[in-house]
Amino acid sequence: MNDAELDNYLEAGRVAKQVLHSCAAEIKPGVLMGDIFDMVVEQIESAGAMLSFPPNISLNEVAAHDSPSPVDERTFIEGDLVKLDIGTHIDGYIADTAMTVDLGGDHGKLCEAAQAALEAAINVVMPEVVVSEIGAAVEAAITSYGFKPILNLTGHGVARYDLHHGPSIPNTGMFGSAVLREGNVVAIEPFATTGTGMVHETPRAEIYQVVADGSVRSPTARKIMKRAEVMQGLPFSRRWLNVPKADLALPSLLRQGNMYVYHCLSDTPGSFVAQFEHTIIVSEEGPVVTTR
């Protein structure tokens, strides 16, 4: 990694940290989810960065990938456990960070478990470390609080304009044979849950990604592909499209293999999930946390 690349990673992390904490402070009962989404977008762009994915705003048992629709009228309510997960980039060099806001004050221990797991994981990060060692640290921290890690969600490596580059960073010590190398950049995101420790896809989906150019016949589909170009291959939100009949064209783009869709990922109804996340550069001198 050269100095220019390092500077871009650090600046992306600085902006992500600033925006995450600023917008999380505005998550309160009665506030529209869509207003927080729009606030994240505005603040990232005002700071001179770009989004590396649409803001994820996931409630209660939903662990990841929820995001407001174009006409979303949902508001936060007392008792919600809100995960805010945001991403930035500078010239394609990505930062990914998340925190949980407890609107009822009833889930402090769960949030503490996820935070402790993140710190334990960061302390393990060094070149030549096997990723299962990081997962074991996450699992030990979360279970020590009496909760479960989500076993089928992982952190991930990032690279230029590549949000999920590898290696995957597990939240358990049961698997993961990849080895960290000097200069790797990884996003570590422990999820602590009161539920089963496994998530499943729900029908709801608001986040898409272009995965193949291919031939597109429908004028509406072509407009969607054109709108998505601004993300340079990174995920985009249906909220951003402003394309009439987009809901009719998106399924055809999925069937043709042009698009990938990110469904909401949820534990069992009535459970609660907390998440915290940082982006880390792997270095012989110790982990460089870009989003702290």
pLDDT value of position 90: 98
Q: Is 285 annotated as a binding residue?
A: no
Stretch 28-41: mean pLDDT: 98
CATH number for the domain spanning 213: value is 1.10.10.10
Average pLDDT, the chain: 97
Q: What pLDDT shows up at residue 215?
A: 80
Domain check: are 239 and 275 in the same one?
Answer: no
Q: How far apart are CA 144 and CA 154, in angstroms?
A: 20
Tell me: is residue 165 an annotated ligand-binding position. no
Q: Of the residues 91, 162, 164, 263, which is catalytic?
A: 164
Active site residue 21: no
Q: Residue 1 has what pLDDT?
A: 87
- Reported as a single tens digit per residue, the pLDDT across 156-165 is 999 999 999 9
Determine whether the annotation assigns residue 277 to a binding site: yes
Instruction: Write the burial class of residue 284 (CB in 10 Å: 0-12 exposed, 13-18 middle, 19+ buried).
Output: exposed
pLDDT tens-digit map of 44-60: 999 999 999 999 999 99
Residues 221 and 125 occupy one common structural domain: no
The pLDDT tens digits for 90-144 are 999 999 999 999 999 999 999 999 999 999 999 999 999 999 999 999 999 999 9
Dump pLDDT digits (tens) for 146-155: 999 999 999 9
Q: 157 and 41, same structural domain?
A: yes
pLDDT of residue 244 exceeding 90: no
Displacement of CA 230 from its chain's centroid (Å)? 19
Q: Is 85 a catalytic residue?
A: yes
Is position 189 annotated as part of the catalytic site?
Answer: yes
* Dihedral angle computed from the Cα positions of residues 140, 142, 178 and 292, in that order, rounded to the nearest 10 degrees: -120
Q: Estimate to the nearest angstrom the gap between the alpha carbon of 165 and the chain centroid.
A: 14
Do 274 and 148 belong to one domain? yes
Asked about 200 being catalytic, the answer comes back as no
- Count of the separate structural domains present in the chain: 2
> pLDDT per residue over 209-243, tens digit each?
999 987 888 899 999 999 999 899 999 999 999 88
Are residues 127 and 11 both part of a single domain? Answer: yes
- Is residue 213 part of the annotated active site? The answer reads no
**Active site includes 267?**
no
> Binding site annotation covers 229?
no
Nearest-angstrom CA–CA distance, 287 and 280: 6
Range of the domain at 258: 202-264
